[in-house]
Amino acid sequence: MRRVACIGDSITCGHGLKDPKREAYPAQLQEILGGDYEVRAFCMSGTTLLRKGAKSIWATNEWKLAQAYGADVAIVQLGTNDTKEADWRQHRGEFVDDCKSLIRSLREKNPAVDVFVCLPPPLFRDRGKPWDTDAILAKEIVPKLRRVAADENATLINVYSACDSHSSDFSDGVHPNAAASKLIAETISAAIDARRQEKKSEQDAKGK
The domain of 113 spans 2-207
CA distances from 192 to 73, 100, 115, 177, 188 (A): 8, 20, 10, 22, 6
Question: What CA–CA distance (Å, rounded) separates 208 from 18?
Answer: 51
**Chain segment 127-160, per-residue pLDDT in tens:** 999 999 999 999 999 999 999 999 999 999 999 9
Whether the per-residue pLDDT at 27 is higher than 80: the answer is yes
Report residue 206's pLDDT band, with 50, 70 and 90 as the boundaries: confident
Number of domains in the chain: 1
Is the alpha carbon torsion for 142, 147, 151, 155 positive or negative? Answer: positive
What CATH number is given to the structural domain containing 119? 3.40.50.1110
Using alpha carbons only, what angle is made at residue 205 by residues 203 and 208, rounded to the nearest 5 degrees? 110
**Chain segment 71-101, per-residue pLDDT in tens:** 999 999 999 999 999 999 999 999 999 999 9
Q: What is the DSSP letter of 74?
A: E
**Chain segment 159-186, per-residue pLDDT in tens:** 999 999 999 999 999 999 999 999 999 9
Q: Please say whether the beta carbons of 18 and 87 come within 8 A.
A: no
The enclosing H or E element of 42 equals strand 37-43
Question: What CA–CA distance (Å, rounded) separates 19 from 47?
Answer: 21
Pairing of strands 155-157, 114-118: parallel
Give the CB-side neighbour count of residue 61, counting CA atoms within 13 A: 0
